Amino acid sequence: MNKATRFVIVGTMLALLALTPLAPPVAATTGDGWVSQVGTYDYLVKPDYDGLAPIGPATAGMTLGLGTFDHLNGELVMIGGVVYRVGTDGVPAVASPAATTPFLQTVRFDPDRSAPVPPGTLCSGLPALVDALAATSNGMVSVRVRGTFTNLVTRSVPAQTEPYPTLATVVATQTLFNLGSRRAVLVGFRTGPDLAGTGAPGLHLHGITADRTAGGHVISCVAGTDVQLSVEVADGVRVSGQS
């Protein structure tokens, strides 16, 4: 398939507003402040799952991220600068730098604020906590949640072939992993309504266990007593890829 390279810069400077009541914030130094993407959520929804760029160059210098692989072949989780692929066996494996991706979000994570997550908080309750800690529901917010979780459930999907089925059809074939009680790191991005189509709507999290034996796209979880939420409000989003 012939494709022409495109480059798009999305986003504007987002002010760091006063923290709404959640927990005392922890000060941190600021970083680059930009999220780098390959492709967009709208690209996947077309549907088009062809890889747009190799993982290695796209993640150089970054520390945290998520995405998928060519043909939607597994879930991508980036922790501490290491990129993992979680296939339908549920086992993370270090991804080849030459592997390509149709959708990838990465950041050199340098959190603006951190706060403990109240024990018993469901994963479905995390978006409200992210918005409160970030003091905005717009723009892009990079997110890390780490600690001990109960009822942790993740998923992966199998590789697809052309003509590609819709994303909803693919998700219907997902493999679920009931991980129980585990220490884990969940990473991802909260996309506000002003950036609709750039990232997945709302809060999108992928995770990996502390022992690196399980992971995937996060479906559900319950926070334990030691879970910490950290956020970085992005100054904008740089999107590159091909169409």
Residue pLDDT, tens place only, 33-72: 899 999 999 999 999 999 999 999 999 999 999 999 999 9
Length of the chain, in residues: 243
What's the confidence (pLDDT) of residue 241? 83
What SS3 class is residue 51?
coil
Domain region containing 175: 32-242
In terms of Cβ atoms closer than 10 Å to its own Cβ (0-12, 13-18, 19+), residue 105 is buried
Which pLDDT band, with edges at 50, 70 and 90, does 32 fall under? confident
Residue range 81-107, pLDDT digits in tens: 999 999 999 999 999 999 999 999 999
**Which CATH number belongs to the domain containing residue 153 in this structure?**
3.30.1330.80
In a domain, 209, yes or no: yes
pLDDT of residue 217 exceeding 80, the answer is: yes
In a domain, 153, yes or no: yes
One-letter amino acid of 163: P
In a domain, 120, yes or no: yes
In a domain, 19, yes or no: no
Residue range 119-171, pLDDT digits in tens: 999 999 999 999 999 999 999 999 999 999 999 999 999 999 999 999 999 99
**Across the chain, what does the average pLDDT equal?**
88
Query: Which has the closest alpha carbon to 219: 169, 127, 156, 144?
Result: 156
Look at the chain and report how many structural domains it folds into: 1
In a domain, 111, yes or no: yes
